[in-house]
Structure 1
Amino acid sequence: MKKPPRTSSADETDISRAAAEWFARLLDEPNPAAHQQFRAWLLEDERHAQAYAEFERLWSGAGLVGESGRASSLSRRTMLKGGGLVIVAGGAGFAGLTLLRSFGDYSTGTGETKTVTLPDGTRIELSPQTAFSIDFSEKARRVRLMRGEIFVSVVADPSRPFAVETDDLRATALGTQYSVAIEPEGTSVFVTQHAVEVTAAGRREILNEGQSLSYRKGRLSDPVETDIETRLAWRSGKLVFLSAPFGKVIADIERWRRGKIVLMDPELADRPVTLIVDVKRSDRILDTLQLGLPVRIVTISPWLALVYNR
């Protein structure tokens, strides 16, 4: 096996991929030369140790214990003692940091959806890994979306406008149903009924039924006609991807499935993918990917899977 690439880039995806390659290599090559090279890679950048510690956590989190309740003696685990195990303690802080998020008044975890009814009767559907808080007064109704995506069915109250706010924008209902999503690349708004007023970066746009827009890199896009039903298929337990970059597909799937999926070949991230995933069968998602796409998936544990070109 060739030596995993040395990574000094700030790109977290590259670092995560390199950590995964080292993890896979140390499972297969328990020799001093591999461990020496591994240690050198760890010392290049503190983020390397943090990323590798996350893989250690995902591996050890598989719950492989014997009947006595003590961890079983695994040869793979023993292999890692030469270099990986020593950084688990240092990486624990990193793993903890990834879990330190604001919970808000309402929130969901991985694979969890929820519908809540606010004091004014407005209904909000939360997708997985979502959190928001509410701020209602006599003159206004505000929802602060911290992460994830919500679908809002607003109860009209002309004396108290209803708005969803994020760090990037404000989406004010004009008597409507709409979705606001915080994604890695920015924030998006989708309207299924009536209209929404969106303001961001000093600009104002009116979104009508069947339209969407996004806020990316300080710029608010123009409204565009969108297949809203496909985009919001998560509300009925489906994820529908039409020529979507595989990297985005994986990021979306990870909100519905516990564990980490790593694309081991960089070119895979940009590959366009058309796929329908039944998120109600999260245990079958990896099978769906492998059967529907030209990829090979190596499952390291229930919490960790590596995806290769096939």
Structure 2
Amino acid sequence: MTAGVNKASEDSARLEREARAWLRRLRTTTVTQVDAEAFKRWRATSERHAHAFVEAQRAWDDLSPVLSRLHQSAQREASQRPKSDVSLARRAWLGGAVSAVAAAGAAFVWPPMGLWPSAHERAADFRTVAGEQRQIAMTDAVNVEMNTMTAVSRQTVNGVTVGIELVSGEAAIDIHAQTAGFSVLSQGAKTIASAGRFQVRHTGDKTCVSCVAGTLAVYHPTGKRVLGAGQMLEYASDAIGTAKAVDVAALSAWRSGVLVFRRTPLSEVIAEINRYRPGRVVLVKQDVGAREMSGRFDIRLLDVVLEQIQRTYDLDARRLPGGVLLLG
């Protein structure tokens, strides 16, 4: 029994080391196609591999602010000491170097403001850019429709496609004929259905699964959930919610080129528009972010929607390079 526990502990430690190594490699080097393919193979080895990488990403997220604070502390210390203090200068330089590496790595793996795809998204098999939608026949029985700014990779067993990994974004899965089960891996959890239609959305630090038709099961490290038509749930890498009723027509409206908002806070409306529009809209006047907005809008006419928001909430607009729009 002890030998088995020790073996499991050693395997977990090995996966953690490998995940951190991949994160460093993706963060600090120029990623080649060979690197990307090797990373995809490693990540697809098992759910434990995928989960280990998610945990490594989370650890880096937690570490980055600490490194930044250390760098700021070193700068303050340097400004208060004589410039002739060589040892202090060295410490300050080291602090700056660590912070610079951290900032460069974070920008590479998690781009600022989402202005370009991350390393993980670039390594995906299929990817859409802002405003693009794409349909893919994954198997004879399964069609996957990718929404804007979405990255997915095939999951195969013995050369046969059995599912996808949703790296980021949103995908709708239509199963036209009874199958042994088609799965969607996201944040270390797996959603499986044998028939019907469902959607999976992974933005930020949460994944949302909604069942449009049929039934499905979500297998999360903390437990299993079963959803029926008209139900959805959300989960993070360390916790899973419970099923609740949802308006699947509104959730699926993007497939018809429409965005539907029902008493949605303006900050969330802006965040959603940012997924479909190149560049980035920044709500500078944050006190209006909680005000609610309702409506149905054509995805192709989002600039018209932004003009309407500007007038309705009496906001000034300032355009910057790279498609950045400041509203305040």
Which structure is higher in RCO with an 8 Å CA cutoff and minimum separation 6?
A: 1
Deviation of 1:94 (Å): 6.7
Q: Distance in 2 between matches of 1:238 and 1:97?
A: 23
| Superposed counterparts of 1:43-192, under 5 Å | 98-101=116-119, 102-103=121-122, 104-137=124-157, 141-158=162-179, 160-192=180-212
* Secondary structure at 2:275 match in 1: coil
Deviation of 1:174 (Å): 3.3
Aligned CA distance change for structure 1 residues 267 and 283 (closer, same or farther; 3 Å)? closer
Matched, 1:296 2:318: no
Aligned CA distance change for structure 1 residues 98 and 200 (closer, same or farther; 3 Å)? same
Structure 2 unaligned spans of 5+: 1-64, 66-95
Aligned CA distance change for structure 1 residues 211 and 186 (closer, same or farther; 3 Å)? same
* Of 241, 252, 271, the match for 2:261: 241
The residue that corresponds to 2:80 in the other structure is none
Aligned residue type for 1:153? D
Q: Distance in 1 between matches of 2:161 and 2:310?
A: 49
The residue that corresponds to 2:240 in the other structure is 220
Q: Distance in 2 between matches of 1:94 and 1:215?
A: 24
Contact (CA 8 Å) 1:174, 1:197: kept in 2 or not?
Answer: no
Q: Give the length in aligned residue pairs.
A: 222
Deviation of 1:121 (Å): 3.5
Q: Distance in 2 between matches of 1:222 and 1:280?
A: 34
| Structure in which a larger fraction of residues adopt helix | 2
Aligned residue type for 1:239? L
The residue that corresponds to 1:282 in the other structure is 302
Cα deviation 1:199-250 (Å, max 9, x = unaligned) = 2132111100011000147321111110110122111111111122222211
* Secondary structure at 1:206 match in 2: strand
| Superposed counterparts of 1:24-43, under 5 Å | none
Deviation of 1:155 (Å): 3.8
Matched, 1:207 2:231: no
Q: Distance in 2 between matches of 1:249 and 1:217?
A: 25
* Secondary structure at 2:249 match in 1: helix
Q: Distance in 1 between matches of 2:113 and 2:262?
A: 33
Aligned CA distance change for structure 1 residues 96 and 267 (closer, same or farther; 3 Å)? closer
Q: Distance in 2 between matches of 1:233 and 1:140?
A: 28
Structure 1 unaligned spans of 5+: 1-9, 11-42, 55-92
Over the aligned positions, Cα root-mean-square deviation in angstroms equals 3.0
Moved more, 280-289 or 246-255: 280-289
Q: Distance in 1 between matches of 2:114 and 2:308?
A: 31
Aligned residue type for 2:186? T
Q: Distance in 2 between matches of 1:258 and 1:270?
A: 24
Sequence identity (%): 24
* Secondary structure at 1:116 match in 2: strand
Aligned residue type for 1:186? K
* Secondary structure at 1:283 match in 2: helix
Contact (CA 8 Å) 2:115, 2:280: kept in 1 or not?
Answer: no
Q: Distance in 1 between matches of 2:285 and 2:249?
A: 32
Aligned residue type for 1:175? A
Deviation of 1:116 (Å): 1.1
Aligned residue type for 1:306? L
